[in-house]
Structure 1
Amino acid sequence: MKDSGEFLIRSYVGATRVARPLVRGLVHWRRIKGKEHEERWRERLGEASLPTPAAPVVWVHAASVGETVAVMPLIYRIAATGVGVVLTTVTLASATLVAGRLPRGVCHQFVPLDIAPYVDRFLATWDPQLAIFVESEIWPVTIARLDARNVPLVVCNARMSPRSFAGWRRWPALSHAVFSRIRHCLAQSDADADRFRQLGAPRVSTIGNIKFDAPVPEASRTVAEALSASIDGRPVFLAASTHPGEEDIVLDAFTRALSRNADLLLILAPRHPARGPDVAGLASGHGLRTALRSIGALPERGTQVYVADTVGELGTLYRLARVAFIGGSLNPRIGGHNPIEPGGLGTAVVAGPNVGNWSEIYEALKAESALTEVRDATELFDAVDRLVNLDNTRQRQAEAARRVVARFSGALARTQAAIDPLIDPLIVSARLARRMPGPA
Structure 2
Amino acid sequence: MPVRLPYSLLWLLALPAVLLRLLWRARRQPEYLGHVGERFARYPAPPDGPLIWLHAVSVGETRAAEPLVRALLAGHPAHRVLLTHMTPTGRATGTALFGTEPRVLQAYLPYDMAMLAARFVRHFRPCLGIVMETELWPNLLAVCAQHGVPVILANARLSARSARRYARWPALTRATLGALAAIGAQTTADAERLAALGAHGVVHTGNIKFDIEPPAARHELGHAFRARIGARPAILAASTRDGEEGPLLDAFLRHAPADAVLLLVPRHPQRFDEVAALAAGRGLAVQRRSDGQPLAAATRVWLGDSMGEMFAYYAAADVALLGGSWQPLGGQNLIESCAVGTPVIMGPHTFNFAQVAEQAAEAGAALRAADAEDGMKAAVELLSDPARRAAMGEAGLAFAQAHRGATARTMALIDGILSARPAAH
- TM-score of the superposition, structure 2-length normalised? 0.91
> Match of 1:354, SS?
coil
Give the aligned residue type for 1:303. Answer: T
> 1:205: Cα distance to partner?
0.4
Does residue 111 of structure 1 match 2:139? Answer: no
2:248 to 247, 250, 256: 250
Equivalent residue number for residue 57 of structure 2: 63
Q: Deviations over 1:384-405 (max 9, x none)?
A: 2211121001111222222222
1:323 to 306, 319, 322: 319
Equivalent residue number for residue 123 of structure 1: 121
Identical pairs, percent: 36
Against the structure 1 CA distance between its residues 64 and 150, is the aligned structure 2 distance closer, same or farther, given a 3 Å change threshold?
A: same
Q: Deviations over 1:16-72 (max 9, x none)?
A: 4576566555544544553753331221111114x4321111110011112111112
CA contact (8 A) 2:222 2:316 kept: no
Give the aligned residue type for 1:73. Answer: P
2:183 to 185, 190, 198: 185
Matches within 5 A, 1:96-245: 96-102=92-98, 103-216=101-214, 224=222, 226-245=224-243
> 1:343: Cα distance to partner?
1.2
Q: Deviations over 1:197-219 (max 9, x none)?
A: 12222211011111111234786
> 1:309: Cα distance to partner?
2.1
Does residue 53 of structure 1 match 2:47? Answer: yes
**CA separation in 1, counterparts of 2:66 and 2:363?**
30
**CA separation in 1, counterparts of 2:81 and 2:133?**
18
Against the structure 1 CA distance between its residues 24 and 115, is the aligned structure 2 distance closer, same or farther, given a 3 Å change threshold?
A: farther
CA contact (8 A) 1:253 1:378 kept: yes
> 1:294: Cα distance to partner?
4.2
Does residue 301 of structure 1 match 2:297? Answer: yes
Give the aligned residue type for 1:340. Answer: I
CA contact (8 A) 2:321 2:346 kept: yes
Against the structure 1 CA distance between its residues 425 and 298, is the aligned structure 2 distance closer, same or farther, given a 3 Å change threshold?
A: farther
Equivalent residue number for residue 407 of structure 1: 402
Does residue 268 of structure 1 match 2:230? Answer: no
Give the aligned residue type for 2:167. Answer: R
Equivalent residue number for residue 367 of structure 1: 362
- Mean Cα deviation higher: 11-20 or 339-348: 11-20
Q: Deviations over 1:334-382 (max 9, x none)?
A: 0111111101211011111111111111111222333222123442232
Against the structure 1 CA distance between its residues 113 and 216, is the aligned structure 2 distance closer, same or farther, given a 3 Å change threshold?
A: farther
- Mean Cα deviation higher: 348-357 or 299-308: 299-308
Against the structure 1 CA distance between its residues 362 and 19, is the aligned structure 2 distance closer, same or farther, given a 3 Å change threshold?
A: closer
> 1:296: Cα distance to partner?
4.8
> Match of 2:2, SS?
helix
- Mean Cα deviation higher: 22-31 or 136-145: 22-31
CA contact (8 A) 1:326 1:336 kept: yes
Q: Deviations over 1:177-224 (max 9, x none)?
A: 111111000011111111221222221101111111123478668855
Q: Which has the larger radius of gyration?
A: 1
Matches within 5 A, 1:370-409: 370-409=365-404
- Mean Cα deviation higher: 10-19 or 72-81: 10-19
1:83 to 62, 79, 86: 79
- Mean Cα deviation higher: 210-219 or 86-95: 210-219
- Mean Cα deviation higher: 52-61 or 113-122: 113-122
**CA separation in 1, counterparts of 2:381 and 2:71?**
43
CA contact (8 A) 2:85 2:91 kept: yes
**CA separation in 2, counterparts of 1:165 and 1:411?**
23
Give the aligned residue type for 1:241. Answer: S
Aligned Cα root-mean-square deviation (Å): 2.5
Against the structure 1 CA distance between its residues 30 and 44, is the aligned structure 2 distance closer, same or farther, given a 3 Å change threshold?
A: farther
> 1:117: Cα distance to partner?
2.5
CA contact (8 A) 2:369 2:375 kept: yes
**Please, which runs of 5 or more residues in structure 1 have no aligned partner?**
1-5, 431-440
> 1:252: Cα distance to partner?
1.9
Against the structure 1 CA distance between its residues 60 and 264, is the aligned structure 2 distance closer, same or farther, given a 3 Å change threshold?
A: same
Does residue 347 of structure 1 match 2:342? Answer: yes
**CA separation in 2, counterparts of 1:31 and 1:395?**
44
CA contact (8 A) 1:83 1:427 kept: no
CA contact (8 A) 1:323 1:348 kept: yes
**CA separation in 2, counterparts of 1:257 and 1:138?**
44
> 1:281: Cα distance to partner?
0.8
Against the structure 1 CA distance between its residues 93 and 166, is the aligned structure 2 distance closer, same or farther, given a 3 Å change threshold?
A: same
Q: Deviations over 1:141-195 (max 9, x none)?
A: 1111111111101000011121221122122222111111110000111111112
* Count of aligned residue pairs for this structure pair: 421
Give the aligned residue type for 2:119. Answer: R
Give the aligned residue type for 1:353. Answer: P
